[in-house]
Structure 1
Amino acid sequence: MRTEPVNSERIFAEPEIQARHRPDGSVLLSSAVPLEPYDADLGRPLRRWAAERPGAVLAAERWCGTWERLTYGDALARAEALGEALLRLGLGPDRPLLVLSGNSLRHLQLTLAGYVAGIPVVSLGTAYSLSGGPERLLTVTGIARPGAVYAEDGREYGAALTALAAAVPVTIVGRGPRDEADVLLDALLPTRPGDRLRAAAAAVTPDSVARIFFTSGSTGHPKAVPNTHRMLCAVQQMMRQVWPFLTTTPLTLVDWLPWSHTFGGNHNLHMVLTNGGTLYIDGGGPTPALFPRSLRNLAEISPNVYFNVPAGFALLADELERDSVLAKRFFSRLGLLFSAGAPLPEALRVRMLRLAGRFRGGEVRFTSSWGMTETASAVTSAHLDTDAPGAIGVPLPGITLKLAPVDGRLEMRAAGPTVMPGYLGDPVRTAEAFDEEGFYRTGDAGLPADAADPGRGLLFEGRLTEDFKLANGTWVRVGALRAALLAATDELAEAVITGSGRARVGALAWARQAGDPAAVRHALAEALARFNAGRRTSRRVDRLLLLAEPPDRDAGELTDKGAVSQLQVLRNRAAQVELLHRDPAPAEVILPADHAD
């Protein structure tokens, strides 16, 4: 199938932002452009595209070396058959479907079945189903109370399915059943939709729960975030208004981002579904072990929009600089690059745009947004050209963003149709999550890029909970400092800021590429000296320790999206933190060149 290129002149709508300053020091930001009407539920765009373009490909998955494709017409037929079957098995609005496996066509078919039958779908990452013991899995199951659990392969997920046997009445597998009690998904496809499905579909409203996502739980008990059809449909209309090309150009994505998270499972998947696009499911990811799969897919399929996280863009930039054939293929129809999940180092953004200029003629734009699971993905969008590190753009139409003063910073708080009604089964945390005016407390800090012009958007200032004080009582703004450090040197792939209660700031870091150790140390010492020049103590990095072991996903140091967890790394690597801050500095610690012996 041919991918249509994106017209670069129609990528971004012009931001029109209003700002209202209040006596308490807070600022309310909103778009002057009203939110236009949107679908009432996610079953409607599926039915619409199945009627208008039944033979168009909704999604494809590589299987045995070739692409297996699912058209919109087949997707609707299978969704209705599976929806009827799941209802007969006892699932419904209060008995969700739990999915343990990663992205796949079967996973998608079951998700669409949930949409048309009014059955919430709970997609869990492999951190719950394949890593560690069953405790966290049983915890989330107790909260969601699923009526059935699905696994792509009964043998691969056997331990998790066995752990859930007493808690979940029905087990469905794509292949490899553990025993005769497991239901094969293919056995459900011949089910004829009937009155049960018609009644369930008629009962779906904008406030019906479509998806339930679980936060990582890295700081405590996992929280269940219900996403309603209203939330998920509204955010897609918001994106259509700021990205006008979505209404004229069929989207083609090659995407690995997991459906257990809001970036891949809401923002990207539903952008394809609601706009009649095509999603090529990428079985790769932003790790050295998985990334070759992504390269193979990108060598065959040219996306016109490409989503990734900074770790993925770092690997991709290295390969595109090395392989001009791949670069020509990748950029042949590309119009937009999009990074989220963690702040993107400015040097990496420049590298990707330099490659775009070479292989696409400078027609590619690079953007980002900011949001979270509790807001059905995006709250802001950088639908404007900016080179400011940490730029996250402006509020989307229909969103009111409050900048509320908290300990000398501005917390970003959100209100609008995309904000969750509350945490499932947790009234205490729900009450804590909203302020007295009903704004959701995100816990993220932001700063206007230009105080005199709200249309220039916001800069992400990090998590409020990550910040700490030095021994002298000075606050260290971790998010901003980390972003600035990574932007100042090409030698680092990632960094975690340290120094709580200590005399100076340090960083645990990972090198971008292997090289001569002495040369890397020398380059980093010089880079630290340049970075620190003219900066006060809380904005300097006075010592750095390179880590040989990569972030450990199973230990919670790396999310499914490839982002490093600052707090979890500090917990897990307390011994390295102590080594880093020992006086005098051990030989392993890198000091700025102007402070080294």
Structure 2
Amino acid sequence: MSKKDNGTIYIRSTETPDDYPRAITDKLDHWAQQTPDHLFLADRDKTGGWQKRSFLETRNEVRSLAQYLIEQDLSEDRPVLILSGNSLEHGLLALASMYAGIPYAPVSPAYSLVSSDFAKLRHICDLLNPGLIFVDDGAKYAKALAAVMPKDARLLVLENPLSQYDCDVFKDVRQTTPTDAVDAANGKITEDTIAKFLFTSGSTGMPKAVINTQRMLCFNQMMLRHALAFLQDEPPVMVDWLPWNHTAGGNHNFGIALYNGGSFYIDQGKPTPDGIHETVRNLCEVSPNIYFNVPKGYEALVHHLRENKTLREMFFAKLKLMQYAGAGLSQYVWDNLEKIAEDTVGEKIVIVTGYGSTETAPFAFTTTWAVDQAGSVGLPAVGLDIKLVPNAEKLEVRLKGPSITPGYWKQPDKTSESFDDEGYYLIGDALKFVDPDNIERGFLFDGRVCEDFKLSTGTWVHVAAIRTAIAQTFAPYVRDAVLTGLNEGYVGALIFADFTACKKLCPDLPANASERDIATHPAVQAHFQKCLNELATKSTGSSNFVARAILLESSPELDAHEVTDKGSINQRAVLTKRADKVAELYTDPSPAGVMIAKKG
């Protein structure tokens, strides 16, 4: 660690990076030779049984699909676009694209199936000009395709082909006979070859195509294997639902299984009250030795772990590590996971969090030691250079290294804005030392530097800390919160409810009750008022005292850019769209629906 006179701090791991391959699919060749019969991918078919592929079977199908893709004259200027969610066929096509040196872009199904205007999907197609689009069901995606399908692109479907397009069916093209062209294309791949484009939304809400090179993917997996050393001792077994159109699911998790010769069971469950049942079903059949989820997923899982003996025993039987990411893990969920593990297998299972972004491939920081509370992001991974720059009252973190993206596809202005004059990526977050006198204790996430604001008194409000406190105090009834108060006298909050959880507070409502009916129900309002008062008793001053709050009567809207497809809230978009509600927080006397915090 070194420090400049202006307070800027530079940090780099003292360890030396390990060797890594030139392409992530080299690992597919490696394991197909070393452990050809070992299970790699598994997905449930329509009968409910597992359809499985060994490493050798996967490689054979990948090479056949690579030949098909080569015959379509695809390139980085005409890449593959995957609109469907996780599936065995999605995984095979993604690997085939990279094997042939053709970039692909997995896109959130929400852009096709939830959006009503297809604006984001149209923007993506205009930006990438795809030469081939894959969907699992032509009929299901027909409206989206009609809105965005390029005239010269080919359509690939699992079922229900559409006659109005040049259309192929997956079961037919997977039989393509590979030729020397596959080896020739694969041989041209370098570390700088674009493997994929992953989309991330900024404050404007329109997706940017983050370039992911082979170097990024391979170096990142080397970093992970270096940090999580037990991956070198036994192949990972994973049951995972995280979407592959995001870096956590598609790069981090899928990559761990591929890079380390592991088994990846595709979980079609979701971290929702209904979706969690499929996850429970899968975990009752497969014991993972490493498990990843978002905090809401662990929150949903805890209840079933307490009630289901088979699930407890299968889940913890071989488990070495649990990791969460995407948001802070509530302490009560953390405590429950540790207690259930101790009651089931006689010991706690290590819980860690990672830190990074789409632009960092994503792994950048992690703890490699047991911690007893949420919030720690650990130390930077081997091979990364870290720069901490004083910004207001915080230390803004910037990163540089082989796992960092070279930029955004066809958006040189956005690329230029995202790097400083020393080439460090501006991730936009702040970190703070757990112990300024002992760097070995790592760092704590300290929020987004662009989200913090000052009250009219000049007092800084640190948004991340308050949002975490709201999530913990109101759990499990809150989804997220947007804070207000820029140049005002006090902090306010617009609260998005978890309407499914809130429905349990008002069982007298009919099953088809609207979100407004739930949010305005007296029992729900009373409970949120109670939680707001409890939150007030924990405050230590105006910087963290939420004086007023409104429970919003509708979920955040995807088309209005209020929420990303992965569920994270776009603070700026919410404040803009719901400006009338913000105004109500600062109106005297307070309108109906505004809750006022009481400390006593």
Q: TM-score when scaled to structure 1?
A: 0.91
Aligned residue number for residue 84 of structure 2: 101
Q: What percent of counterpart residues are identical?
A: 37
Map of 1:47 onto structure 2: 29
The answer for the alignment partner of 1:10 in structure 2 is: none
Counterpart position of 2:548: 543
State the match for 1:371 in structure 2. 356
Q: Rate the CA distance shift 1:309–1:187 in 2: closer, same or farther, 3 A.
A: same
Query: Is the Cα contact below 8 Å between 2:469 and 2:535 reproduced in 1?
Result: no
Amino acid at match of 1:423: Y
Say yes or no: does 1:475 pair with 2:469: no
How far 1:479 moved relative to its partner?
A: 0.9
The letter of the residue matching 1:153 is D
Equivalent of residue 490 in structure 2, options 504, 507, 512:
504
Partner in structure 2 of residue 588 of structure 1: 593
In structure 2, the residue matched to 1:110 is 93
State how 1:269-308 maps to structure 2 within 5 Å: 269-308=254-293
The Cα shift of 1:329 comes to: 2.5
Output one character per residue of 1:464-484: Cα deviation in whole Å (capped at 9) or x when no partner: 222222222322111122123
Structure 1 residues 59-110: Cα deviation after superposition (integer angstroms, max 9, x where no partner): 1111121111121111101111111111111113432111110001111111
Unaligned runs of 5+ in 2: 506-522
State the partner residue of 1:577: 582
TM-superposed deviation, 1:334: 1.6
Q: What residue number does 1:418 align with? A: 403
- Among 132, 135, 140, the alignment partner of 1:151 is 135
Are residues 469 and 134 of structure 1, via their aligned partners in 2, closer, same or farther at CA, if it must alter by over 3 Å? same
One-letter code aligned to 2:93: L
1:317-374 CA-partner distances (Å, limit 9, x unpaired): 2332333432233222222111101222233222222222222322301000111111
Q: 1:266 aligns with which of 246, 251, 262?
A: 251
Paired with 2:556 and 2:159, the residues of 1 have a C-alpha distance of 32
In 2 relative to 1, CA 521–90 (structure 1 residues): closer, same or farther, beyond 3 Å? Answer: closer
Q: What is the rounded CA distance, in whole Å, between the counterparts of 1:348 and 1:564 in structure 2?
A: 22
The aligned counterpart of 1:82 is: 65
Distance of 1:74 and 1:491 partners within structure 2: 43
| Per-residue Cα deviation, 1:426-473 (whole angstroms, up to 9, x for no partner) | 211111111011100111111111111111111111112222222223
Q: Matches of residues 249-398 of structure 1 in structure 2 within 5 Å?
A: 249-398=234-383
Indicate whether 1:563 and 2:594 are aligned.
no
In structure 2, the residue corresponding to 1:108 is in which secondary structure? helix
Deviation at 1:530, TM superposition (A): 2.2
Corresponding residue number in structure 1 for 2:117: 133
Displacement of 1:490 in angstroms is 4.4
2:571 corresponds to which letter in structure 1? Q
Task: Give the whole-Å Cα distance in 2 for the aligned partners of 1:444 and 1:159.
Answer: 38
Aligned-pair CA distance for 1:581: 3.8
1:529–1:93 distance in 2 versus 1, CA, 3 Å: closer
Please name the residue that 2:106 is paired with. Answer: 123
How many aligned positions are there?
575
Contact between 2:21 and 2:218, CA under 8 Å: does it hold in 1?
A: yes
* Matched residue, 2:45: 63
CA contact 1:27–1:402 (8 Å) conserved in 2: yes
Pick closer, same or farther for the CA change 1:488–1:455 going to 2, 3 Å.
farther
> Are the equivalent residues in 2 in contact too, given 1:91–1:97 (CA < 8 A)?
yes
Q: Distance in 2 between matches of 1:363 and 1:135?
A: 47
**Aligned with residue 232 of structure 2, among 225, 231, 247:** 247
Separation in 2 of the partners of 1:527 and 1:98? 48
Q: Is the 8 A contact 1:347 1:490 kept in 2?
A: no
Of residues 461, 475, 484, the one that matches 2:469 is: 484
Does residue 530 of the first structure (1) align with residue 530 of the second (2)? no
> How many Å separate the matches in 2 of 1:307 and 1:574?
37
2:18 counterpart of 1:36: yes
Q: Confirm whether residue 176 of structure 1 aligns to residue 160 of structure 2.
A: yes
Larger CA deviation: 121-130 vs 285-294 = 285-294
Q: Which amino acid aligns with 2:43?
A: E
Could you tell me how far apart the structure 2 residues matched to 1:358 and 1:437 are?
51
- 1:200 to 2:207 alignment: no
Which structure 1 segments of 5+ residues have no match? 1-18
Does the CA contact (< 8 Å) of 2:82 and 2:90 recur in 1?
Answer: yes
The residue type equivalent to 1:288 in the other structure is P
Retained in 2: the 8 A contact 1:256–1:281? Answer: yes
The code of the aligned residue for 2:541 comes to: R
- CA deviation after TM superposition for structure 1 residue 501, in Å: 2.9
Partner of 2:550, secondary structure, is strand
**Does the C-alpha gap of structure 1 residues 185 and 344 become closer, same or farther in structure 2, counting only changes over 3 Å?**
same
Residue identity opposite 1:392 in structure 2: V
Q: Which one-letter code corresponds to 1:95 in the other structure?
A: R
Alpha-carbon shift at residue 555 of structure 1 (Å): 4.7
Q: 1:518 to 1:413 in 2, by over 3 A?
A: closer
* Shift in alpha-carbon separation, 1:57–1:136, aligned structure 2, 3 A: same
Q: Which amino acid aligns with 1:501?
A: N
Query: Relative to 1, partners in 2 of residues 1:126 and 1:142: Cα closer, same or farther, differing over 3 Å?
Result: same
Note if contact 2:290-2:320 (Cα within 8 Å) is conserved in structure 1: yes
Alignment-derived partner of residue 213 in structure 1: 198
Aligned CA distance change for structure 1 residues 145 and 62 (closer, same or farther; 3 Å)? same
| More moved, 28-37 vs 188-197 | 188-197
Q: 1:424 to 1:525 in 2, by over 3 A?
A: closer
Post-superposition Cα deviations, 1:356-413, rounded to whole Å, max 9, x if no partner, equal 2222322301000111111111111122222354211110000011111223321110
Match of 2:389, as an amino acid? Answer: A
Shift of 1:220: 4.2
Query: 1:34 & 1:164 partners in 2: Cα distance?
Result: 47
User: 2: distance between equivalents of 1:328 and 1:116?
Assistant: 39
CA distance in 1, matches of 2:558, 2:315: 29
What's 1:16 paired with?
Answer: none
CA contact (8 A) 1:262 1:373 kept: yes
Is structure 2 residue 431 aligned with structure 1 residue 446? yes
Aligned: 1:228 with 2:235: no
Higher relative contact order (CA 8 A, sep 6+): 1
What are the superposed Cα offsets for residues 159-184 of structure 1, whole Å, 9 maximum, x if unpaired?
22223333552111111101173111
- CA distance in structure 2 between the partners assigned to 1:335 and 1:593 by the alignment: 44
CA distance in 1, matches of 2:204, 2:589: 33
Q: C-alpha separation between the residues in 2 aligned to 1:453 and 1:43?
A: 40
Measure the CA separation in 1 of the matches of 2:559 and 2:38. 39
Residues 366 and 61 (structure 1 numbering): CA distance in 2 closer, same or farther, change over 3 Å? same
Secondary structure in structure 1 of the residue aligned to 2:64: helix
Deviations 1:536-569 (A, max 9, x none): 2012222233345444455544434343433343
Q: TM-score, normalised by structure 2?
A: 0.91
Aligned residue type for 1:529: A
Counterpart AA for 2:392: D
- Asked whether the 8 Å contact 1:489–1:527 carries over to 2, the reply is no
**3-state SS of 1:394 partner:** strand
Taking structure 1 as reference, are residues 436 and 479 closer, same or farther at Cα in structure 2, changes over 3 Å only? same
Contact in 1 for aligned 2:537/2:599 (Cα 8 Å): no
Q: Which amino acid letter does the alignment assign opposite residue 579 of structure 1?
A: E
User: Partners in 1 of 2:227 and 2:25 — Cα distance?
Assistant: 23
Change (3 A) 1:503 1:167: farther
CA distance in 2, matches of 1:489, 1:154: 42
Q: 1:156 to 1:492 in 2, by over 3 A?
A: closer
Contact 1:80–1:113 (8 Å) recurs in 2: yes
